[in-house]
Amino acid sequence: MNPPRIRIARSVLVDLENIVSHGQPALSTERGDLFVCDSLPLAAVRLKIRLHDYLTFLASLSQSDQPAPFRVAPVDDVPFEVVIRGMVEVRKNNTVLIDGKQATVL
């Protein structure tokens, strides 16, 4: 999966950086931690693996499990590697919904 390069406003990255630095992940796996923003339709992924390996993992998923490519935005110079664009919800069984559609992000 080669997501398109999407620009994320610096002010949004600062908000997400604060959530990652001071919050608890909504979901944690061997690949990384997912932090959901309550005030914006975004989430941050702090990876425990290389970004390339993460994108390869997403590409290996069935199309019905993959998040849409425009939802996944790699970022630089912050304490996380990926922004998930959309309303992200983690259910009790660790099911992730992005704008109401089930997707695997970790």
CA atoms within 13 A on the CB side of 37: 19
Q: Measuring CA to CA, how many Å separate 97 from each of 2, 50, 94?
A: 21, 24, 10
Cβ(16)–Cβ(9) below 8 Å? no
Across the range 37-53, mean pLDDT stands at: 96
Collapsing DSSP to helix, strand or coil, 42 comes out as strand
What percent of the chain has a predicted confidence (pLDDT) above 70? 95
pLDDT of residue 15: 95
> Tens digit of pLDDT for each residue in 7-42?
889 999 999 999 999 999 999 999 999 999 999 999
Cβ(5)–Cβ(75) below 8 Å? no
Cβ(44)–Cβ(80) below 8 Å? yes
Cβ(86)–Cβ(50) below 8 Å? no
* Radius of gyration for the alpha carbons in the chain, expressed in angstroms and rounded: 12
Q: DSSP state, 24?
A: -
Q: Can you read off the two tokens belonging to residue 18?
A: 């604060």
pTM strictly above 0.95 = no
